Each structure stands twice: as C-alpha cells, then as structure tokens.
C-alpha cells in the first residue's frame, strides 16, 4: 500500500514538473500559426525560410509552413489547408498582390487574423497587419548609388522593374525615381529604355498618388522578378543601343537575381556599368566582392521574420501588437511594422554582412 502511494506521489510530482517545465507549450495540438511564402525559385525567400525554421523550433506554438511554388492557385490551396487545421494567425507573403485577396477573405471568415508579410496584399479588408522592410528606402538607396557614382552629363540610364503584380515593385521604383528624376531632369542621366519614364522626366511619382503613371512605366520595363526575362530585356536593349549608349552605363536593377542576369549581359556589351540590386543574396554578395555587381541592399530577414512571429504570438496571447506605421492597401490603412535597410557595396560588405553574423566569411572567395 505504502509502495503504491509513493508510486502515485512520484508520478504526480513528475507530471507536475513536466507541466511546469513545458510552461505554455502548445505544440502538441493543432497548428496555431500558418506561414505561406511565395516560391523557392527566388533565393530571397530561402533566407526567410531559414530564419523561420529557427523561430519555429524555438517558439512555444505549433507553426505550419508552406510554399506556393509561384502560383496563386497553390497559394489559395495552402491557405485553405491551414485554415482547415484551425490556425489562429496566418502570415502570408502573396504571390500576387491582388489575387491573394480571395484567400485571405476566406481566412478572415473563419476568424483567422491575417498578417501580410513583406509584400502588401491589395484591395482586401481581411488584412489585420503588415510587416515589411522600408521598400521606398530600398529604391532610394539604389537610385542614390547610381547618382553617387555618376559624373558629368548624358550618362546612359537603363531602368528595370520588379513584378508588376507586386506592390513592392511600385515602392522600389517610387524610391528610386524620387532621387533619380531630378537627375534625369537636369541632364545627368538620359533614359535609354523606357519611353514612359522619359515622358514623365519632370514629375515626381508616388505609389499612393500616381499609381497609374507608375504602372505604365513598370509594365514597360518589368522583369516579372524573372531572371530569364531580365536577361532578354537587357539583351534586346543592348541590340538597339548605339556605341554612345554603351559607354559607361547606369543600371537600375530591382533585385539581386535580376541584377546578376542583367549584369552578365552588360559585362559583354558595355564599356563599364554600375548596377544596383537588393536582398544580399549569397551569389550577389560574391558578385559585389568580384566587382560584377556594384551594390545590393541588405534586408535583414532575421529581423523581419522575428518581428512577424512576435506579432503572431502577441495576437494569440491577446497582448498589444507592435505596429506603429501604416500602409494603405486601397481599401484600408493597415497597421504596420517597418524595418530599415542598409546599402552594401565592396566597402562595407564585411562590416554589414559578416561582422553582423548574417553570413560566414568562409562562404565567399575574397
């Protein structure tokens, strides 16, 4: 009898201890958070994935992760599945800004809180929050880099944009245009590949106020975030270019993947080029070290992913959500959290990307 009692006592203590140790660990039930990212084909999202995997390991909540493989239909299927699992918070980076509205509307109907991640979902009232980098600042950093590296007048300028169905492409271009436009108007640069942009050389353009005009430009020079499309655009621009247009050229490339594709074309066609990028993808960091890509913009995905996970946990736990900024998505002002970005070139690549622990020195050939 005594033995039995002490057995139950120790079982009781062991159970109590394990509850105390796991604290509010909710990993055993259904998923509380669902994350949907657009594609594994664009290396940017693999950086986010890596960080999310670490955070998922560390959090007390059960998180389900999905990729949409570049397809809005797959994205919708992912969201429906996650909602079916009973998630409370959906973190979603849309494949296409407007097409994602239907998916998140279905989530909202089931009481799920929706956070737009990195890319804003447009035309939807189903978004509760937006976590993003300062995308206008990305474009400004790119444009400013071209300006800082140009001298004299009549410098050939080639403009390329991101996907015309991605709101970020507008914000990036808006930022770049805000600094480049006065330098186009004063003759420092001459646009070589966009009639639409050249026609607006005297006008500042913002996404909120001049979306239609920006759209005309972006549609003319869109890479669709596709490296092959970027390459063929650059090739056709070089075919049309005079010898004068191929002297040292200045190239606004929207991100690293497209920058490498475009840079490879300019490397064999132009007498020299300055080219922008963004994302600090490993391959582009090597290009920067090798002098094949002039700059990139470092967007620290560690910060973005942990901001959004903190937000999801705050929502689940009914705590105050940290969203001091606001972005309009055409239907509502979405409370947002925004993260700063850093321009990186040969001179500060070590300081920003190695010393901060983002990459290892041994990842690159110096």
Binding site residues, ligand BGC, CB under 6 A: 42, 44, 118-119, 162, 166, 168, 225, 255, 278-279
> Which CB sits closer to ligand BGC, 131 or 316?
131
Distance of closest approach, residue 142 Cβ to ligand BGC, in angstroms: 12
> Which CB sits closer to ligand BGC, 172 or 177?
172
Distance of closest approach, residue 14 Cβ to ligand BGC, in angstroms: 49
> Which CB sits closer to ligand BGC, 118 or 128?
118
Please give the biggest Cα pair distance in the chain.
Answer: 99
> Which CB sits closer to ligand BGC, 161 or 249?
161
Closest CA to 94 of 168, 38, 50: 38
> Which CB sits closer to ligand BGC, 61 or 129?
129
Dist CA 294 CA 300 (whole Å): 19
Distance of closest approach, residue 84 Cβ to ligand BGC, in angstroms: 27
Which residue's Cβ has the minimum distance to ligand BGC? 255
The count of other CB atoms within 10 Å of the CB of residue 294 is: 23
User: Nearest 5 degrees, angle CA 131-CA 93-CA 33?
Assistant: 80
Distance of closest approach, residue 353 Cβ to ligand BGC, in angstroms: 15
Contacts of 366 (CB under 8 A, 6+ apart): 289
Contact 262, 160 (CB under 8 A): yes
Residue with tokens 């939807």: 124
Dist CA 273 CA 266 (whole Å): 7
User: Nearest 5 degrees, angle CA 255-CA 35-CA 73?
Assistant: 75
Distance of closest approach, residue 239 Cβ to ligand BGC, in angstroms: 26
Distance of closest approach, residue 301 Cβ to ligand BGC, in angstroms: 9
> Which CB sits closer to ligand BGC, 166 or 264?
166
Assigned token pair, 133: 């980098």
């Amino acid at each position: 009898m005594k033995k039995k009692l002490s057995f139950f006592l120790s079982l009781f203590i062991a159970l109590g201890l394990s509850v105390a140790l796991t604290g509010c660990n909710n990993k055993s039930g259904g998923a509380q958070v669902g994350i949907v990212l657009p594609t594994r084909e664009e290396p940017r999202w693999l950086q986010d994935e890596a960080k999310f995997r670490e955070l998922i390991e560390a959090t007390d909540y059960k998180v389900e992760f999905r990729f949409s493989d570049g397809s809005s239909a797959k994205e919708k299927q992912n969201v429906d599945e996650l909602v079916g699992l009973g998630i409370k918070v959906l973190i979603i980076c849309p494949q296409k800004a407007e097409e994602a509205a239907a998916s998140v509307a279905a989530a909202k109907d089931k009481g799920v809180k929706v956070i737009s991640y990195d890319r804003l979902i447009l035309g939807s009232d189903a978004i509760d929050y937006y976590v993003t980098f300062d995308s206008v600042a990305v474009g400004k950093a790119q444009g400013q880099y071209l300006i800082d590296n140009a001298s004299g007048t009549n410098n050939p300028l080639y403009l390329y944009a991101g996907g015309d169905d991605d709101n970020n492409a507008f914000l990036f271009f808006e930022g770049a245009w805000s600094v480049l436009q006065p330098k186009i108007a004063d003759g420092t640069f001459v646009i070589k590949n966009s009639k639409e942009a050249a026609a607006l050389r005297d006008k500042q353009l913002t996404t909120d106020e001049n979306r239609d005009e920006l759209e005309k430009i972006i549609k003319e020079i869109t890479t669709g975030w596709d490296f092959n499309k970027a390459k063929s655009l650059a090739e056709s621009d070089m075919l049309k270019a005079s010898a004068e247009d191929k002297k040292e050229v200045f190239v606004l490339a929207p991100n690293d993947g497209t920058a490498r594709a475009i840079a490879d074309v300019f490397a064999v066609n132009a007498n020299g080029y300055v080219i922008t990028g963004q994302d600090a993808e490993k391959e582009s960091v090597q290009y920067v070290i090798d002098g094949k890509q002039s700059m990139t913009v470092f967007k620290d995905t560690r910060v973005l992913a942990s901001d959004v996970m903190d937000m999801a946990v705050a929502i689940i736990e009914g705590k105050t959500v940290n969203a001091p900024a606001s972005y309009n998505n055409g239907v509502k002002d979405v409370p947002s959290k925004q993260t700063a970005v850093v321009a990186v070139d040969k001179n500060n690549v070590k300081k920003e990307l190695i010393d901060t622990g983002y990459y290892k020195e041994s990842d690159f050939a110096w």
